[in-house]
Amino acid sequence: MNNEMKMEFDARSENESFARVAVAAFVSELDPTLEEISDIKTAVSEAVTNAIIHGYDGITDGKVTLYCRLEKDVIHIEVEDTGRGIPDVEQAMEPLFTTKPELNRSGMGFPFMEAFMDDLEVISGPGEGTRVLMKKKIGCTPWIGDGE
């Protein structure tokens, strides 16, 4: 089954929960487990939060675009901002790396996206905005328990 959705919203922190709930509702037709929904919500929350606090630096009239596509049993998610961009993507993706320690950031946003999705790609450059592309296959959880 194929299905698409796209939305654009203001770079306001109240929209973080709205965005992850929207994606969770959109993916529900693939019958994901609670675990998979939770993984996706965390990853979306990370990408959208980054667009808001790093991309636009708190300037709330910036726009965040969220695009999702279901292709068979895979959900593709793209989060895009047209903000400041990332000068060194490789460094930004390292665990614990943050440019905003004073804001209680942990530098675990990208590592969580990587851990909870099957695939993560970040396209960015200084002044060029940021696109985060993520993929996750639904329904491939091994049936032998992972020990919880």
Partner 1 sequence: MEEDFKVIDNYLMVKMPEEIDHHKSSYISENADRFILRENVSNVVFDFEDTRFMDSSGIGILMGRYKKISCFGGKVFAINADHRIRRLLMLSGLHKIVEIME
Ligand X SMILES: Nc1ncnc2c1ncn2[C@@H]1O[C@H](COP(=O)(O)OP(=O)(O)O)[C@@H](O)[C@H]1O
Of positions 18, 74, 98, 135, contacts ligand X by CB under 6 A: 98
109 binds ligand X (CB under 6 A): yes
124 binds Mg ion (CB under 5 A): no
Catalytic: 105?
Answer: yes
Give the three-state DSSP class for 134. Answer: strand
Distance CA 37, CA 20 (A): 10
70 binds ligand X (CB under 6 A): no
Question: Which among 146, 137, 93 is positioned nearest to 117, based on CA atoms?
Answer: 137
Distance CA 74, CA 4 (A): 12
111 binds partner 1 (CB under 8 A): yes
Binding partner of residue 84 among partner 1, Mg ion, ligand X, none, CB under 5 to 8 Å per kind?
A: ligand X
- Number of helices (H) and strands (E) in the chain: give both, helices first: 4, 5
By residue count, the chain amounts to 148
Residues contributing to the site for Mg ion (CB under 5 A): 50, 109
In the complex, the residues that contact ligand X under the rule CB under 6 A are 46, 50-51, 54-55, 81, 83-86, 92, 97-100, 105-110, 130
Which residues carry out catalysis? Answer: 46, 50, 105
